[in-house]
């Protein structure tokens, strides 16, 4: 913006660009502004330190709030180093800090210091999914298979028929599938419980781990899924077609060496889908027992 | 829309949602930061339930009224949606900036009080008022540095913004104290400067809060507006001075860091209320300002 009436010459736009850069700078040599810009009882450097502390502290805190188990696992100092590095490179573009950090997991994946913890980025992705779901508005009047309140509103998401004239499955609008390379659910659980024995016992070799996540009035629920069940649910949520979901599950069973055909498919559905807390079955027949 | 009464209200923070929603504790009114409720999520569901029982004010921190690059239309739209949904009695933000080159820095960064900055702030306030369809209150921030370029004292600057845009003023008494102390100025004289620059009717709300004292690298004390403690005696004394000048006015107790129990906030609000009651009693002998504060209007010439 032209500054025809700016006084000693630094237009406001330029001053703000320089000040923002100084506040986000990592190198001490770049953190200052010329003292001639400032007047008054405090040196400008002292005021800038206060603002830098506020800005970076708020960003680090926002990330800590969303990536709870990453923070607990690596500790405050390590987390702050990663968070500040991220905040300096990728400051938010909007003032809603509760949604800041969606690409923090990818940053962690490429973060040099974290290379010794190959599961850390996966854990961060899982933290983000849980936090994002926890922020969603809970459905009213809901009642689930395990007794928590869930109702009509909770099942306003995908519904599908498994066969013509058969039962209709209805899923919560919040339901989503999540795939990880590490057992992130048990990892997160052990970290938050500070259960070092459970942590030590975890097999942290890379392998596919699938989960269903959904929101109830009680909080976020997680259920581990077999690869075939994950194929069924992922397809069901994506294409909303029962036959396609069954075909995907059957193909996944075959690919895993299970050639049990229809009975294997029925067994899979009974064990992992029809009895799950995230499904409502619309049928006059009684619901399958757990 | 419930108007905000000329009484002492409480800043509502997320950890108190459950208690306020279930117990509906006594509070004349509540104020929240709208940026925490801009998604149609669990927090907004809580606030909508709470809103049924209390007059509500929205105190924004993200409009960046001092940004040379202008205000973000998307953020104004989000705020407008929330206003339509919650029907708050007052809407406010700060005389500061937080956005530069599209990057949001979560702080209330200071402005040089120049003619250029005045033009920019007025343009931005007008844009926001058009976007939200109502007048805004603008709050004086705490300051930790002062620009050599400043041509106007802060009170004159904010008074000019109010005159030119029709916005109201949210006078933060703790911020006046913090800024005065950090610039080694007498706080009572500084407040007197504010009272001289502003018409009492321009002030639609006051804020009270606690602050911290730290030591700079040079070993000098610096007061930090962290909203993390009880309101200090010097700020209470300034508040008495401010409302004696203004008359009873909606007054908020803010507490953000090291958040105590809601009862502590109620106690602080009760103390502010007793100050307001004393002034109202004196005012009833010689009426000076209305108890029910009217909404500022964008076309209101101050």
Q: How far is the alpha carbon of B129 from chain A, nearest alpha carbon, in Å?
A: 19
The pLDDT of residue A157 is 64
Across the interface, of A37, A43, A94, the residue whose CB is closest to B148 is A37
Q: Measured between CB atoms, does B45 come within 8 Å of chain A?
A: yes
pLDDT digits (tens, 9 = 90+) for B132-143: 999 999 999 999
Nearest Cα to Cα of residue A142 among A153, A131, A134, A156? A153
Mean pLDDT, chain A, integer: 87
> Could you give the percent of chain B with pLDDT greater than 70?
94
pLDDT, mean of residues A269-276: 91
C-alpha B234/C-alpha B238 separation (Å) is 6
Residues 212-251 of B with CB under 8 A from A: 216-218, 220, 222, 224
C-alpha B8/C-alpha B32 separation (Å) is 14
The pLDDT of residue B173 is 98
Q: How far is the alpha carbon of A214 from chain B, nearest alpha carbon, in Å?
A: 14
Please report how the helices A261-268 and A227-239 are oriented relative to each other, as an axis angle in degrees rounded to 10. 80
The Cβ of residue B152 has, within 10 Å, a number of other Cβ atoms equal to 17
A-B Cβ pairs (cutoff 8 Å, strict): 153
A276 close to A145: Cβ distance less than 8 angstroms: yes
CATH topology for the B8-285 domain: TIM Barrel (3.20.20)
The pLDDT of residue A93 is 95
Predicted-complex ipTM score: 0.92
| Nearest C-alpha in A relative to B151 | A7
Left if phi > 0, otherwise alpha if psi is -120 to 50, otherwise beta: which for B101?
A: left
pLDDT digits (tens, 9 = 90+) for A183-223: 999 999 999 999 999 999 999 999 999 999 999 888 999 99
Task: Kindly list the domain boundaries of chain A, sorted by start residue.
Answer: 1-135, 154-290
Across the interface, of A8, A12, A97, the residue whose CB is closest to B120 is A12
pLDDT > 80? residue B248: yes
pLDDT > 90? residue A95: yes
pLDDT > 60? residue B300: no
Cα diameter, chain B: 54
Q: Which residues contact A248 (CB under 8 A, 6 or more apart)?
A: A231, A232, A234, A235
Question: In this structure, what token pair is assigned to residue A43?
Answer: 């040196």
Please report how the helices A44-66 and A120-135 are oriented relative to each other, as an axis angle in degrees rounded to 10. 90
Residue numbers in A near B103 (CB within 8 A) = 20, 24, 91-93
Nearest Cα to Cα of residue A41 among B119, B160, B143, B8? B143
Mean pLDDT, chain B, integer: 93
Q: Considering the entire predicted model, what is its pTM?
A: 0.89
pLDDT, mean of residues A65-89: 97
The pLDDT of residue A288 is 53
Residue numbers in A near B43 (CB within 8 A) = 98, 135
Nearest Cα to Cα of residue B66 among B108, B35, B30? B108
Task: Kindly list the domain boundaries of chain B, sorted by start residue.
Answer: 8-285
The pLDDT of residue A8 is 59
A31 close to A22: Cβ distance less than 8 angstroms: yes
Q: Is B251 exposed, middle or buried (0-12, 13-18, 19+ CB in 10 A)?
A: buried
Q: How far is the alpha carbon of A156 from chain B, nearest alpha carbon, in Å?
A: 16
The pLDDT of residue A155 is 65
pLDDT digits (tens, 9 = 90+) for B39-54: 989 999 999 999 999 9
| Nearest C-alpha in B relative to A10 | B149
pLDDT classification of B219: cutoffs 50, 70, 90? confident
């Amino acid at each position: 913006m032209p500054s025809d009436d700016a006084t000693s010459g630094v237009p406001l736009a330029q001053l703000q660009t320089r000040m923002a850069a100084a506040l986000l700078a990592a190198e001490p040599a770049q953190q200052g502004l010329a003292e001639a810009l400032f007047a008054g009882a405090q040196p400008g450097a002292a005021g800038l330190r206060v603002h830098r502390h506020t800005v970076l502290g708020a960003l680090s805190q926002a990330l800590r709030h969303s990536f709870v188990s990453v923070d607990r696992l690596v500790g405050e100092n390590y987390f702050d180093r990663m968070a500040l590095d991220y905040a300096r490179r990728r400051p938010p573009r909007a003032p809603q800090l509760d949604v800041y950090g969606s690409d923090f997991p990818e940053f962690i994946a490429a973060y040099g210091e974290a290379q010794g913890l190959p599961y850390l980025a996966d854990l961060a992705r899982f933290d983000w999914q849980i936090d994002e779901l926890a922020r969603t508005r809970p459905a009213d009047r809901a009642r689930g298979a395990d007794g928590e309140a869930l109702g009509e509103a909770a099942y306003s998401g995908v519904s599908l028929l498994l066969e013509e004239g058969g039962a209709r499955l209805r899923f919560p609008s919040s339901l989503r599938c999540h795939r990880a390379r590490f057992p992130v659910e048990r990892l997160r659980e052990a970290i938050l419980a500070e259960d070092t024995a459970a942590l030590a016992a975890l097999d942290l070799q890379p392998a596919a781990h699938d989960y269903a996540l959904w929101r109830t009035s009680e909080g976020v629920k997680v259920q581990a899924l077999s690869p075939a069940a994950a194929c069924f649910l992922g397809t069901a949520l994506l294409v909303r077609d029962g036959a396609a979901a069954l075909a995907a599950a059957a193909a996944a069973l075959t690919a895993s060496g299970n050639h049990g055909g229809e009975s294997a498919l029925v067994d899979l559905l009974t064990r992992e889908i029809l009895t799950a807390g995230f499904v409502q079955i619309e049928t006059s027949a009684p619901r399958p027992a757990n | 829309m419930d108007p905000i009464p000329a009484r002492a209200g409480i800043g509502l923070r997320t950890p108190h949602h459950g208690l306020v929603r279930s117990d509906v504790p006594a509070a004349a009114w509540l104020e929240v930061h709208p940026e925490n409720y801009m998604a149609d999520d669990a927090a907004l569901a809580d606030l909508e339930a709470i809103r049924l029982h209390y007059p509500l004010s929205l105190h924004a921190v993200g409009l960046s009224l001092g940004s040379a690059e202008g205000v973000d239309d998307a953020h104004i739209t989000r705020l407008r949606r929330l206003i339509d949904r919650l029907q708050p009695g007052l809407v406010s933000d700060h005389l500061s900036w937080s956005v530069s080159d599209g990057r949001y820095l979560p702080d209330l960064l200071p402005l040089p009080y120049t003619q250029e900055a005045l033009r920019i702030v007025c343009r931005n306030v007008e844009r926001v008022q058009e976007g939200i369809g109502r007048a805004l209150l603008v709050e004086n921030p705490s300051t930790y540095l002062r620009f050599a370029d400043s041509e106007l004292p802060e009170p004159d600057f904010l008074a000019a913004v109010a005159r030119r845009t029709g916005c109201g003023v949210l006078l933060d008494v703790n911020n006046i104290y913090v800024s005065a102390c950090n610039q080694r100025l007498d706080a009572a004289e500084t407040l007197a400067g504010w009272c001289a620059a502003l018409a009492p009717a321009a002030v639609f709300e006051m804020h009270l809060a606690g602050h911290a004292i730290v030591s700079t690298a040079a070993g000098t004390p610096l007061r930090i507006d962290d909203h993390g403690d009880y309101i200090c005696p010097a700020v209470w004394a300034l508040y008495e001075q401010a409302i004696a000048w203004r008359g009873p006015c909606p007054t908020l107790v803010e507490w953000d860091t090291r958040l105590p129990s809601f009862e502590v906030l109620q106690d602080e609000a009760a103390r502010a209320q007793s100050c307001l009651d004393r002034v109202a009693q004196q005012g009833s002998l010689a009426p000076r300002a209305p108890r029910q504060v009217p909404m500022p209007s964008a076309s209101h010439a101050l």
